[in-house]
A = this chain, B = another copy of it.
Amino acid sequence: MAKHRAQRGNLFVISGPSGTGKGTICKEILNICDLKLSVSMTTRNPREGEQNGRDYFFVTKEQFEENIANGNLLEYANVYGNMYGTPKDAVIRQLERGKNVLLEIDVQGALKVKKAMDEAILIFLLPPSMEILRERLSGRGTDSEEAIERRSQEALNEIRLLGEYDYYVVNDDLTEAVSEVSAIILAEGRKVPDKVKPIIREYE
């Protein structure tokens, strides 16, 4: 029997303060779980080898603004003069095909996504402690003491928003954190849906 897999997929948003290892965890998760990374829309020019629709949806500034006006961007931000955003229609297309979608994003962006799409499942990555977060931020060696202090303060302000999230994972040991995130993804796929009729019908 097909294990009722025709069901709608889930949107997972992995988020957390800078320095908690979002990127590393998402890379691992994409290797072991059956889900698609959300493709962003951007106004910046494609780089060598980048493909439209795979790496980004490359659009003009006018097209991007149209997407904002249409309410098609779950969130968007201006980064050094280029616009980046998450197109809702592309995410929904995947979900309707029964695919799980993964979105890696900062805390502010995650909360915007939740507001625009209540079904989004928000996972907060926590550092083991503030001391370790500071060490990780210093370890990059690129920031001044002052910058590290500012980023720690930002992290704390973000951690205070934990109550808006669905799950939290402490990234102490990478392997353990990855297995916790993949357990969340697996478990969410086994939730009894609002409409149980299609499942019950398979037994009648």
CB within 8 Å of B: which residues of A?
1, 3-4, 124, 126-130, 155-156, 159-160, 162-163, 165-170, 172, 179-180, 182-184, 186-188, 190-192, 196, 199-200, 202-204
List, in ascending order, chain B residues with CB within 8 A of A182's CB.
183
Q: Contact check: which of B160, B179, B190, B192 meets A163 at CB < 8 Å? A: B192
Q: Contact check: which of B127, B159, B184, B202 meets A129 at CB < 8 Å? A: B202
A contact patch SS: mixed
Separation in Å of the A18 CB from the closest CB of chain B?
14
Verify A192–B168 contact, CB threshold 8 A: yes
Separation in Å of the A204 CB from the closest CB of chain B?
7
Verify B162–A192 contact, CB threshold 8 A: yes
Report the separation of the CA atoms of residues A150 and B129 in the bound assembly, to the nearest whole angstrom: 58
Report the separation of the CA atoms of residues A135 and B31 in the bound assembly, to the nearest whole angstrom: 37
List, in ascending order, chain B residues with CB within 8 A of A166's CB.
191-192
Verify A156–B196 contact, CB threshold 8 A: no
Q: Contact check: which of B159, B167, B172, B186 meets A200 at CB < 8 Å? A: B159
Separation in Å of the A94 CB from the closest CB of chain B?
22
List, in ascending order, chain B residues with CB within 8 A of A172's CB.
1, 3
List, in ascending order, chain B residues with CB within 8 A of A183's CB.
182-184, 186-187, 190
The chain B residue with its CB closest to the CB of A164 is B192
Verify B190–A188 contact, CB threshold 8 A: no
List, in ascending order, chain B residues with CB within 8 A of A184's CB.
183, 186-187, 190
List, in ascending order, chain B residues with CB within 8 A of A200's CB.
159-160, 162
